[in-house]
Structure 1
């Protein structure tokens, strides 16, 4: 049996990640905010705890979630789209003392490439690029990253994913219902759930801690071309785009993930 891993957040990414780690003989603990999901998660071999992060404290048995684990994966979405007034940074701040008091040596923080602003020049973004988000969500993610990185009680690796897609979840299904979509000429930055999980496995296996990785497919087709093509394949209405306003975007470099982690993306998935 390999070392024990705790996952804070058994959602769309966290649950299949936990299952994949168990198949690789890791012992896995995890958390959910829904009591109705606990029994199902336990059936998958995940020792599950009901835990909610609040701005003023952590509700649930966070101590037992972290107990005897060497690695903690923080996979908690900020939730700022639903509630723009949420202080995600405060949630991370109240979590940190529990990590410090535990045996956790390594923290993997699942973040987003939204920490980088879109620009008309479509800049190439690498891990050396300084995050410059102006959105509320982006700025809070930047501050949360820094809180964890600056803590010397444990090693933190930041993993920033581009747009996520996977089984029963593709952004084209939402875009097909919209009109006057902005930034039609912007480069697409996407990554499939399967590759997200494989990258996390590589970080854990190769012990790349105190690092930053930006994860996105090496291919960056234009937004309007890509989603129009995908919608045709999925037999969905073709989205309507705003070509009158200059497009803003960015290109997320995949070089570090490919070279340092020796990882190969399954690029064929991008086009279904």
Structure 2
């Protein structure tokens, strides 16, 4: 059995994911866009490569990075906050010929629940819910998902994560500095980094391809209640909320993760 996996993007999520997979007997090729990080990856037991996704065709080390791997995990954010004019779909499009040539058979694309629009009434969103994003980032993720899942040369699974957090990286640190925060009654949809890694591992181990999964911790307290509590725990200023406007949001259901992957979440929202 070929136990080599290529992880495109070995940063905050990708690096500990690679470490977990190595500990479970996998051989990992990891990509970075920084020469300075090559030694960090190598010292973690990862075979490192420089791979930069561009809107124009470029070689980098894409072919070597994918060589002999049967599974590719695409774990790179669109980066549209920093560069709203960027075309993420085209960037992914340019790596597909390398996927085909390399013989990669299975692709796991790390997407986001931002492909769903917030609404009044907070509808429950399952893995079968049709994405309906209206913002640029969400729409580009939808197009990227379609691009990968419709390709006949490999099987693609889409994994849409809710907001990611851990003890050192929590959205409360940013919200505590803001005023008139919108949608204070909206349900919170978050998932701890360790649970992200656990879900990915389950997909690989259980050979769950040609699938779509939404992943969020199953509790969904109101935004104002949750972040006020977390800010108190972290000794941060309590955020200021706009309770005058109506709240819009959604509830991300992880039923398929529980049932198809037999995964039980390990990190709740209040103890990171």
TM-score interval, smaller chain: over 0.9
Q: What is the CA distance between 1:128 and its match in structure 2?
A: 1.0
| Runs of 4+ displaced beyond 2 Å | 267-272
Q: Distance in 1 between matches of 2:130 and 2:204?
A: 25
What is the match of residue 242 of structure 2? 242
1:26-79 deviations in Å (ceiling 9; x for gaps): 000010001101011101110000110001123411001100001000001000
What is the match of residue 46 of structure 2? 46
Matched, 1:205 2:208: no
What is the match of residue 33 of structure 1? 33
Name structure 1 gaps, 5 residues minimum: none
Q: Distance in 1 between matches of 2:269 and 2:118?
A: 25
Q: What is the CA distance between 1:121 and its match in structure 2?
A: 1.6
What is the match of residue 160 of structure 2? 160
Q: Distance in 1 between matches of 2:15 and 2:271?
A: 25
What is the match of residue 127 of structure 1? 127
Q: Distance in 2 between matches of 1:99 and 1:22?
A: 22
Please say if residues 89 and 143 of structure 2, whose CA atoms lie closer than 8 Å, have aligned partners that are also in contact: yes
Q: Distance in 1 between matches of 2:267 and 2:44?
A: 29
Q: Distance in 2 between matches of 1:199 and 1:235?
A: 31
What is the match of residue 253 of structure 2? 253
TM-score, normalization by structure 2:
0.98
Q: Distance in 2 between matches of 1:181 and 1:235?
A: 19
- Provide closer, same or farther for how the CA distance between residues 183 and 269 of structure 1 changes in structure 2, counting only shifts above 3 A: closer
Matched, 1:218 2:222: no
Paired residue secondary structure (2:241): coil
What is the match of residue 111 of structure 2? 111
- How many equivalent pairs are there? 272
1:144-175 deviations in Å (ceiling 9; x for gaps): 00000000100000000000001310000000
What is the match of residue 87 of structure 1? 87
Paired residue secondary structure (1:37): helix
Tell me the C-alpha RMSD between the 2 structures: 1.1
TM-score, normalization by structure 1:
0.98
What is the match of residue 56 of structure 2? 56
Q: What is the CA distance between 1:268 and its match in structure 2?
A: 3.1
1:91-150 deviations in Å (ceiling 9; x for gaps): 011111111111101000000000000001211001111000000000000000000000
Q: Distance in 1 between matches of 2:142 and 2:195?
A: 23
Paired residue secondary structure (1:53): coil
